[in-house]
Structure 1
Amino acid sequence: MPGEFERYLFHEGTLYKSYRMLGAHITAHQKQRGVRFAVWAPNALQVNVVGDFNNWKGENDPLERMDASGVWFGFIPDLKEGDLYKYEIHTPSGDLIQKADPYAFASETRPNTASIIHQLGGYEWQDVKWETNRKKRDHYHEPMVIYEMHAGSWKKKENGKFYTYRELADELISYVASIGYTHIQFMPLMEHPFDRSWGYQITGFYSVTSRYGSPEDFKYLVDQCHKAGLGVIMDWVPLHFCKDDPGLRQFDGTPLYEPRELDMAERPNWGTCNFDFNKPEVVSFLISNAMFWLEEYHIDGFRVDAVSSMIYLNHDNTLAVPVTNAYGGPENLEAIAFIKKLNEVIFSQYPHILMIAEEATDYPLVTSPTSAGGLGFNYKWNMGWANDVLRYMQMEETERSHHHHLLTFSFMYAFSENFVLPFSHDELVYGKRSLVNKMSGDYWQKFANLRVLCGYLMTHPGKKLLFMGSEFAQFDEWKDLEQLDWNLLDYDSHTEFHHYFKHLIHFYRSNRSLWRLDHKQEGFEWIDPHNSSGRVISFIRKGKRRGDYCIVVCNFSSTVYSNYRIGVPAAGVFQESFNSDAKEFGGSGQQNTGRLLVEKMPYHNQPYSMEVTVPPLGMVVFTKKPIQRKQKYRKG
């Protein structure tokens, strides 16, 4: 029976593993095996359990209301793992409704909607080494390149069916690891009824979707990712839930998980209901949900969806009359308090987890600690940078010189937060076109533009994220009902770009100056941000150690600049370390060969300078050649 203290914490909003108290748990009572059920339905007149074991008739399996807290409890003998069930709820208005268990650990495959009795634990994890090393790592000062993907459309079988979690483990992991990614980020894998919601409208927050297999199958996928050195990030949606009848909406016949006020509960743009962050039980439900995925599935972090819509009452919410808080402001004060509490709880138990905010406004201190007045995330998507730079890349060359600020403005705020630079699915769907098809110019120029764009991405401060298919220049925008266009790898331009992208990531990962001080101003220095007419920018990325730096030049024009002078910080000899215009990548082959000598000629506010060749629509990186010291030999 759920204990009194547990119930107290749940109603206080501080029971952070409430899934251990509520839901369906296989256990023994008076030496008899069965299942213990517990559900929160404070306004229900009666709650019964129905399922395939009682022909979906609940009169013989009622639950007992424990007290005024609204938790209903009961034990049914002889039930076993795999049995189907729902809660039959007698509402205050006299209706009889059936609801899936909010805490169900497994669910039927759509279009069926029953919950499935499932025993937690039981999987023998093999990732102890990964878990141990994760505690020692400092991701702020490490390379991070995230592969965002939709499990249902990465690849499909010839008959159109989905790959299972285990089949994904067999093919996906080796592919992603070979390119050089550090993490895989899955679009939401919680149970959802409609494929085309992509998982963002959820019915089963504690159920990994059965579309691709069982909970153990998904654990195997995560386990294999960890064995291959890949972290796993989950898209998580604590803002809202779908209105489907078996789900959370009007759960006990009244607004329970959603606010009572209609304008606060409804999110018309998405046809969903908002969570009520003012209810402590909802706070317990959501924070416990995050803890559940970390504990039961060994997830390495979350990309928290729609944080802007949590912070602001009217963001992406076209109500007839704007909603305000108690003080007349636009902020959702209860949601902000929830976000801070969430991050405090998560980091108190999992200090090395990634909590990444999809936040699109200029709300301050998103990645600052709550003790300093921040929201407490450790990363934020830099959606402003993505929007600016993609807008620039779609312009014809003649226009670009008039919009040079779109390339450089991000450095005005690049170190105000810990940023992830995202080219996500949001930019590649609904007529927005794929990355390569956004690029201006003819066919060759599109690929060259994409090469320089990705080069700029990898050398710009911040962690990186790209949506699946971008690594081989998928030409069509994302088609969520079809697999990626893998046949494009039969064509030279796409094969060469795939080759380029792999080399680019490995170059990024092997050069500490490109990530060691990602979130510190001292890790970046402009050489020349002002050459708008030439459409060229140049800058220095610095590591922590003295002399650990590289010089980056990006040319967003199709002009080859020979004898192009740039300022450099020190005397010596430089060499070209990476060039996106190499012929092996599909480029024109305008490269810098041999030694590049530095002259004692101040330029670009630097004490020295050198002349280089800047390739058309190209990114080139220069590093200082180490001094070859002669060894001295002693006689005898």
Structure 2
Amino acid sequence: MTPPTPLPSFGETDAYLLGEGTHARLYDRLGGHLEPNGQGARLALWAPNARAVSVIGDWNGWDAHADPMAPRSDSTGVWEVRCEKARRGHAYKYRIVSQRGRILEKADPLALLGEPPPSTASRLWSLEYDWGDAEWMRTRAARNGLDAPMAVYEVHLGSWRRPDGRLPGYRELAHSLADYVVSLGFTHVELMPVTEHPFYGSWGYQTTGYFAPTARYGEPQDFMYFVDHLHQRGIGVVLDWVPSHFPTDAHGLADFDGTHLYEHADPRQGFHPEWNSAIFNYGRNEVRSFLISSGLFWLDRYHIDGLRVDAVASMLYLDYARQGGEWIPNRQGGRENLEAITFLQELNRAVYREHPDTFTVAEESTAWPQVSRPIEMGGLGFGMKWNMGWMHDSLAYMKQDPVHRRFHHHRLTFSMVYAFSENFVLPLSHDEVVYGKRSLIDKMPGDAWQQFANLRALFAYMWAHPGKKLLFMGGEFAQRREWTHEGQLDWQLTELPEHRGMQHLVGELNRVLRAEPALHELDFSAEGFEWVEPNDASHSVVAFLRRARNGEVVLVVSNLTPVPRQNYCLGVPGGGTWHEILNSDARPFGGAGWGNLGEVEAAPMRSHGRKHALCLTLPPLSTLYLKAVTDV
């Protein structure tokens, strides 16, 4: 078992790294740390502009005079104190007197645990835990690799399942979620933010506790158990992490020591008009140290496998969500946030230096170049980037009545123009099923049968498209309602044949994804993709090949009209028998059962520039995968 870690003294090296903006483990130096024997605690806080600071808490009756903190003799702005009577679980805050005499009561920015909301104090805690995921940790470099099959199930823990209508706990969720994810073959789960947040309705995106899993679902060891159990079941855990903005709640980071310590003072730089929140000052070195330490903390102490970094575009552009005159240009007169760029590069450099078997993913919604390219090449250094363009274009295409899709064919094929410019993840995320956007199944046109067929065809097309996959919970069984953070998913739908069929299809897509190297090994290389038929807009048909390193190929064909097409011939790179390894119109998935009786013989005829062709039956609103039995 990992023992409690005492607070090492904050030394000259720490002062230098904090001031340089590269301290990657502030959680070992600042915050509240219990002594190894459990008798007392030592606390340290960065508050450089405070006149006085004291710790108030359960052990001293919240007396402002009982435990005054002393500033270090250097210029770091760090205050320290040892509290003899403090014990594990005690609630506490820092009482800060500003230079102008204002009294502020703040939660610990580096607290390991907070009180369950709506209470706002921090709690003294330690992170001892007996991990059982050694096998996962030993092998996760391959599981998290860019050439690995990756199908991510995005989850909001509080609304996935609610037994008896109550919020579940981390340990309870560990078992039910792992069972479900394993049954469907997903490789990873991505958790919408579990960092502590005062407003449940923010879904975790308004974070106050950058080092504390939310107490709504349990204590730190409970969250460790959650991660540990998923790892032991072969499932990676990705954390949605929000360094882009933070709420202005009185107990949080805003106006921390009576000054704009973590945020810019000028609202044109420090206030986010879209989210009514504060923006971190990435030009302040200590703030960069704080954020880099937070990111590494989850990888180090909680064995998290990856960080999905939220709202990167809002960090990169000074004029994001602002009109002319509402923002301040950078020192070169441009709109790029140069300090944020430096921070993101330093973050990624630190992550891949300290935990090279993990990864980072950027949610970046613009065409910013080289997001997932090495820093040495001028990139931001992320491992992957969400492909928001693919998401918007694909959904816009699928929303069209099939009779009109011929006029929007480019929306389906355009993503291949830039598919290998970044290491892309294809997301169908929570953002697409809220706020009047409708559920995935409800976006699909036609009657109920056509809606399900459309969504099955889209999923199969998505799973074959270059890039890793991400699907938000409920999409896998075609939930009809929009997602809401209150309540739970409509699990009763899985008792209905069409919804159960969709769920079965997603499980089979994950199985085929894992089984076929052609569908994942070269996701980020043009060598892994080849068009067969990109231009048949009149029939709304597309066909392409996915290729593995060893030369094996899978042919993917989508017919996105409700008209079955007989004897549709496509050139293929070799003869012999081709097996139909997946058909989204198969009866077990809720389809009509059109197809090719399991296999097709390639004919020695020229088509699409190739010497052999498959003449196929294309089911209505469907996607097929075919693989040659013999080498091609």
TM-score (ref. length: structure 1):
0.96
Aligned to 1:630: none
2: CA distance, partners of 1:460 / 1:426 = 21
Compute the displacement of 1:284 (Å). Answer: 0.7
SS, match of residue 147 in structure 1: strand
Which of 580, 604, 609 is the aligned partner of 1:605? 609
Aligned to 1:72: 79
Aligned to 1:404: 409
Aligned to 1:7: 15
2: CA distance, partners of 1:319 / 1:127 = 52
Q: Does 1:111 align with 2:118?
A: yes
Which of 215, 225, 243 is the aligned partner of 1:210? 215
Q: Does 1:296 align with 2:301?
A: yes
**Greater CA drift, 128-137 or 523-532:** 128-137
Per-residue CA deviation, residues 336-362 of structure 1 (Å, 9 max, x unaligned), is 000001111110111121100000100
**Any residues of structure 2 matched to 1:450-599 within 5 Å, and which?**
450-546=455-551, 548-593=552-597, 595-599=599-603
2: CA distance, partners of 1:314 / 1:263 = 9
2: CA distance, partners of 1:248 / 1:189 = 18
Aligned to 1:369: 374
Aligned to 1:20: 28
**Any residues of structure 2 matched to 1:94-173 within 5 Å, and which?**
94-120=101-127, 122-137=128-143, 139-158=145-164, 160-173=165-178
Compute the displacement of 1:595 (Å). Answer: 4.6
SS, match of residue 487 in structure 2: coil
Compute the displacement of 1:599 (Å). Answer: 2.2
Relative to structure 1, the CA distance from residue 380 to residue 32 in structure 2 (aligned partners, 3 Å threshold; closer, same or farther) is closer
SS, match of residue 403 in structure 2: helix
Contact 1:32 1:77 in 2 (8 A): no
Compute the displacement of 1:93 (Å). Answer: 1.6
SS, match of residue 225 in structure 1: helix
Which letter maps to 1:615?
P
Aligned to 1:631: none
**Any residues of structure 2 matched to 1:287-436 within 5 Å, and which?**
287-317=292-322, 321-436=326-441
SS, match of residue 119 in structure 2: coil
Compute the displacement of 1:326 (Å). Answer: 1.2
SS, match of residue 240 in structure 1: coil
Compute the displacement of 1:211 (Å). Answer: 0.3
SS, match of residue 530 in structure 1: strand
Q: Does 1:43 align with 2:49?
A: yes
Report the number of matched residues.
622
**Greater CA drift, 229-238 or 565-574:** 565-574
Compute the displacement of 1:60 (Å). Answer: 1.8
Which letter maps to 1:89?
I
**Greater CA drift, 463-472 or 7-16:** 7-16
SS, match of residue 440 in structure 1: coil
2: CA distance, partners of 1:36 / 1:253 = 24
Contact 1:269 1:318 in 2 (8 A): no
Contact 2:42 2:83 in 1 (8 A): yes
SS, match of residue 45 in structure 1: strand
Contact 2:142 2:148 in 1 (8 A): no
Contact 1:89 1:96 in 2 (8 A): yes
Relative to structure 1, the CA distance from residue 452 to residue 594 in structure 2 (aligned partners, 3 Å threshold; closer, same or farther) is closer
Contact 1:268 1:319 in 2 (8 A): no
Relative to structure 1, the CA distance from residue 595 to residue 472 in structure 2 (aligned partners, 3 Å threshold; closer, same or farther) is closer
SS, match of residue 445 in structure 2: coil
Q: Does 1:62 align with 2:68?
A: yes
Contact 1:32 1:78 in 2 (8 A): no
Per-residue CA deviation, residues 194-252 of structure 1 (Å, 9 max, x unaligned), is 01100000111111100000000000000000000000000000111100000000100
Compute the displacement of 1:170 (Å). Answer: 1.8
**Greater CA drift, 618-627 or 64-73:** 618-627
**Any residues of structure 2 matched to 1:268-287 within 5 Å, and which?**
268-287=273-292
2: CA distance, partners of 1:320 / 1:487 = 52
TM-score (ref. length: structure 2):
0.97
**Greater CA drift, 577-586 or 550-559:** 577-586
Per-residue CA deviation, residues 149-181 of structure 1 (Å, 9 max, x unaligned), is 1001001122x3201001101211111111000
SS, match of residue 241 in structure 1: coil
Contact 2:269 2:327 in 1 (8 A): no
Compute the displacement of 1:597 (Å). Answer: 2.3
Relative to structure 1, the CA distance from residue 233 to residue 317 in structure 2 (aligned partners, 3 Å threshold; closer, same or farther) is farther
Which letter maps to 1:243?
T
Q: Percent identity?
A: 46
Q: Does 1:252 align with 2:235?
A: no
Per-residue CA deviation, residues 339-388 of structure 1 (Å, 9 max, x unaligned), is 00111111011112110000010011111110111000010000000000
Compute the displacement of 1:97 (Å). Answer: 1.1
2: CA distance, partners of 1:479 / 1:14 = 39
Per-residue CA deviation, residues 602-622 of structure 1 (Å, 9 max, x unaligned), is 111222212110000011111
2: CA distance, partners of 1:322 / 1:558 = 50
SS, match of residue 50 in structure 1: strand
2: CA distance, partners of 1:602 / 1:93 = 83
Contact 1:125 1:223 in 2 (8 A): yes
Compute the displacement of 1:596 (Å). Answer: 2.0
Aligned to 1:615: 619
2: CA distance, partners of 1:320 / 1:273 = 19
Give structure 1 stretches of 5+ with no counterpart.
628-636
Compute the displacement of 1:318 (Å). Answer: 5.4
2: CA distance, partners of 1:147 / 1:219 = 19
Relative to structure 1, the CA distance from residue 32 to residue 245 in structure 2 (aligned partners, 3 Å threshold; closer, same or farther) is closer
Compute the displacement of 1:33 (Å). Answer: 3.0
Q: Does 1:88 align with 2:98?
A: no
2: CA distance, partners of 1:387 / 1:308 = 16
Contact 2:144 2:359 in 1 (8 A): no
Compute the displacement of 1:397 (Å). Answer: 1.2
Which letter maps to 2:608?
H
Which letter maps to 1:162?
L
1: CA distance, partners of 2:377 / 2:70 = 46
Compute the displacement of 1:317 (Å). Answer: 4.3
Compute the displacement of 1:316 (Å). Answer: 3.1
Deviation beyond 6 Å, 4+ runs, structure 1: none
Contact 2:116 2:215 in 1 (8 A): yes
SS, match of residue 152 in structure 1: helix
Compute the displacement of 1:139 (Å). Answer: 1.5
2: CA distance, partners of 1:322 / 1:43 = 26
Contact 1:25 1:118 in 2 (8 A): yes
Contact 1:58 1:88 in 2 (8 A): yes
Which letter maps to 2:413?
T
2: CA distance, partners of 1:598 / 1:272 = 60
